[in-house]
A and B are shown apart, each in its own frame.
Chain A
Amino acid sequence: MDRWKQILITGGILALLALVPLTTTRTDLLTWFTFTLLYITLSQSWNIIGGYTGQQNLGHAAFFGLGALSSRYLWLSGIPLPIAFLLGALVAAFFALVIGFPAFRLRGIYFVIGTLVLAEILRIVVDTLLPRALVLPSKLLSTYSLVPRYYISLGIAFLTVAAVYAISRSRLGLGLMSIRENEDAAETLGVNTQIHKLVAFLISTFFAGLAGGIYAYYSSAVQPGYLFQPVWTFDAVIIVFVGGVGTILGPIIGSVFFVLLQRLLSLYLPGGMHLAVFGVLFIIVVLFLPGGLIELMSKLRNRILGGSRLN
Chain B
Amino acid sequence: MTELLAQTFVNGINIGALYGLITVGLSLTLGVMKILNIAHGEFLMVGGYFAFWLFKLFNIDPFLSLPLVAIALFLLGGLFYRILLAGVARFHEEVKLKNSLLIGFGLFLIFPQIAITLWTADERAITPAYSGGSLPILNVRVAYVPFAGVIVAIVVILFLHLLLKKTYFGKAVRGTSENWKAAKLMGINVDRTYLITFALGVAMAGLAGVLVGLTQSITPDVGMSWTLKALIVVVLAGIGSVGGAFFAGLILGVVESVGAIFMGPYTVALGLLIFLLILMFRPQGLFGKS
Contact = CB atoms under 8 A, between A and B. Distances in A.
Contact of A118 (B94, B117, B276): B276
Given A109-B97, A118-B276, A286 B103 contact: yes
A275 interface: yes
Contacts of A106: 279-280, 283
B231 A113 contact: yes
B228 A234 contact: no
B256 to A, nearest CB: 12
Interface in A114-158: 114, 116-118, 120-121, 124-125, 128
Contacts of A216: none
Interface residues of B, number: 40
Contacts of A276: 109-110, 113-114
A287 B116 CA distance: 26
A52 interface: no
Contacts of B114: 276
Interface in A252-311: 270-273, 275-276, 278-280, 282-283, 286-287
B84 interface: yes
B266 A121 contact: no
B279 A273 contact: no
Contacts of B36: 109, 112-113
A105 B280 contact: yes
A121 B273 contact: yes
Contacts of B60: none
Contact of B231 (A102, A116, A230, A272): A116
B52 interface: no
Interface centre among A105, A120, A230, A273 (most CB of B within 10 A): A120
A114 B109 contact: no
A271 B109 CA distance: 13
B224 interface: yes
Interface centre among B30, B88, B272 (most CB of A within 10 A): B272
A103 to B, nearest CB: 9
B159 interface: no
Contacts of A234: 105, 108-109
Contacts of A271: 113, 116
B116 to A, nearest CB: 6
Interface in B105-135: 105-110, 112-114, 116-117
Contact of A279 (B87, B97, B110): B110
Interface string B30-45: 1000001000000000
B68 interface: no
Interface string B234-256: 11000000000000000000000
Contacts of B187: none
A1 B61 CA distance: 75
A110 interface: yes
A234 B268 CA distance: 22
Contacts of B266: 124-125, 128
B84 A287 contact: yes
Contacts of B102: 237, 241, 282-283, 286
Contacts of B103: 283, 286-287
Given A106-B283, A117-B275, A124-B269, A56 B110 contact: no
Nearest to B232: A117
Interface centre among A106, A278, A283 (most CB of B within 10 A): A283
B54 interface: no
A199 to B, nearest CB: 21
B136 interface: no
Nearest to A237: B105
Interface string B44-64: 000000000000000000000
A80 interface: no
12 contacts: A102-B276, A110-B235, A112-B97, A117-B272, A118-B272, A120-B228, A125-B266, A273-B113, A278-B109, A279-B107, A282-B102, A286-B99
Interface of B: 30, 36, 84, 87-88, 94, 97-99, 101-103, 105-110, 112-114, 116-117, 224, 228, 231-232, 234-235, 265-266, 268-269, 272-273, 275-276, 279-280, 283
Q: Across chains A and B, which 4 residue pairs bring their CB atoms closest together, nearest first?
A: A279-B109, A279-B110, A283-B106, A276-B113
Interface of A: 56, 102, 105-106, 108-110, 112-114, 116-118, 120-121, 124-125, 128, 230, 234, 237-238, 241, 270-273, 275-276, 278-280, 282-283, 286-287
